[in-house]
Structure 1
């Protein structure tokens, strides 16, 4: 259990990340690649990454270098997820990770179970230039294979979760936001109790908390081990279990969107919206809305998320791009 203690100032500074964090997604995707958890939505990703990585030595490098640094359970180094670089390009982030000071590399890699005899981790611990270059190349290649081709799906999952949190914030303020994370977290002011892999207490001390939804997150939440670093809590983003990951939309699927009612529904889901609200806005029956929502989901243009009894619909990044293109064409 992780117990996060808030002050009034912390509540004012608490926010939800505006976009996926590339390095948190990278680290958590390694867990999905290692464990191959029985989660249907990761299966196509798992098969594709394994196949693509097997065409070169990347799969071997993942096993020999990346997985020892990101164990199946427990601690992994904080320097892999630099919070101060999250809004920079992936090359800048990778350079920051590979260029971590020797004292940081030593201190954090010493916390790993290095009894498996990874000579590469030993060299990285000593800030060996060749080991740093190995890390740069490994992170670049892994990102190119495992994240870049799937970034639209990753971003759509995070954006849909943000819509849920925005709705909770508007309805209930910060307390409503923190209450929206049940059952993963329990808000008992002034402490947020979080399902966590170890027993830990974190005092925010006026720094606020960055809540970061993750596409590849599963099970307990994740955070930085060093309490002196900027507080961040990474949690599994909500998703519709019946929806497959967003893929490039086929011409035939786009053809299903033709028609005023379906277009109106897609436009109306720019913010998280219930089926009842959509029916009132568009002026059709609930059954008609349900039919069109199914078609939009099948085309990868809309996501449906459920939190308790609340079911909300929101456009994916592909759906928003389509609407924006239609607006541009009409001007």
Structure 2
């Protein structure tokens, strides 16, 4: 259990991440690559990444370098998920990881059980320049194979969760937001109780908290081990269990004013009943059109407590924005 203590200032500074964090997704995807049977939704990704990585030595490098740093359970180094360069793009983040000071590398790698680690990890511990270059190339190659081709799916997952949190914030303020996470989290002001791998207490002390939904997150939440670093809480994003692959046939079913109205109305997370009232059709009609929009990859449907909420994917938003731009 992780107990996060808030002050009034912390509540004012608490926010939800605006887009997926590439390094958190990378680190957590390594867990999924290792534990493919845990969740069936990752099975297609697992099969494709394994096949693509097998065409080179990438899978071997992941096993020798990344997996010793990211064990099957427990601690992994904070320097793998830097917050300070997140807005600079993937290359900037990778450079921040690779350029971590030697003292940071040694201090954080000391917390790992390196008894069965690779010789490469020992060279990284000594801040060896060749080991740093190996890490740079590995992170670039892994991102290119395991993350970049799936970034739309990752982004949709995070944006759908963010839409739910936005609704909770609008309906109930920050307290409503923090109450929107059961069963993973329980908000008992001024403490947020979070399902976590170890017993830990974190005092925010006026710094606020960054809440970060993750597509590859699964099970308990994750956070940084060093309480002096900017506080972040990474948790599994809600996902659309009814999503279907996008097909030309499905896209062809989108023609019509009712579906366009529904798509426009789902800018924020919305229930079927609300959509029926806004668009002026029956619940059965809304349900039919929601199925078509989901099949075309333009809508996500997620469960939040007893509510079933619908929100646009980034593709759906792009379609609406294009229509606004062209005046149609």
Q: TM-score range with shorter-chain normalisation? A: over 0.9
Structure 1 residue 60 displacement after superposition: 0.6
Aligned to 2:176: 176
Q: Could you list the per-position Cα deviations for residues 42-61 of structure 1 after superposition, in whole angstroms to 9, with x for gaps in the alignment?
A: 11111111111011000110
Structure 1 segment 159-308 matched on structure 2, within 5 A:
159-244=159-244, 249-308=246-305
TM-score by length of 1: 0.97
Structure 1 residue 165 displacement after superposition: 0.5
Structure 1 residue 327 displacement after superposition: 2.4
Aligned to 1:43: 43
How far, CA to CA, are the matches of 1:72 and 1:202 in structure 2?
24
Alignment gaps of 5+ in structure 1: none
Structure 1 residue 305 displacement after superposition: 0.9
Corresponding residue to 2:309 among 288, 312, 315: 312
How far, CA to CA, are the matches of 1:37 and 1:73 in structure 2?
16
How far, CA to CA, are the matches of 2:4 and 2:179 in structure 1?
14
Q: Could you list the per-position Cα deviations for residues 244-300 of structure 1 after superposition, in whole angstroms to 9, with x for gaps in the alignment?
A: 4xx5x4332211101111111111111111111111111110000001101111111
Secondary structure of residue in 2 paired with 1:202: strand
Question: 1:68 aligned to 2:68?
Answer: yes
Secondary structure of residue in 2 paired with 1:228: coil
Question: 1:125 aligned to 2:125?
Answer: yes
How far, CA to CA, are the matches of 2:279 and 2:261 in structure 1?
7
How far, CA to CA, are the matches of 2:204 and 2:125 in structure 1?
30
Aligned to 1:13: 13
TM-score by length of 2: 0.98
How far, CA to CA, are the matches of 2:292 and 2:38 in structure 1?
27
How far, CA to CA, are the matches of 2:298 and 2:43 in structure 1?
21
Structure 1 residue 171 displacement after superposition: 1.1
Aligned to 1:28: 28
Aligned to 1:141: 141
Structure 1 residue 18 displacement after superposition: 0.7
Aligned to 1:52: 52
How far, CA to CA, are the matches of 1:309 and 1:108 in structure 2?
42
How far, CA to CA, are the matches of 1:37 and 1:23 in structure 2?
23
**What stretches of structure 1 move > 4 A for 4+ residues in a row?**
none
Secondary structure of residue in 1 paired with 2:293: helix
Q: Could you list the per-position Cα deviations for residues 205-231 of structure 1 after superposition, in whole angstroms to 9, with x for gaps in the alignment?
A: 110100000000000000000000000
How far, CA to CA, are the matches of 1:11 and 1:325 in structure 2?
36
Give the total of aligned pairs.
328
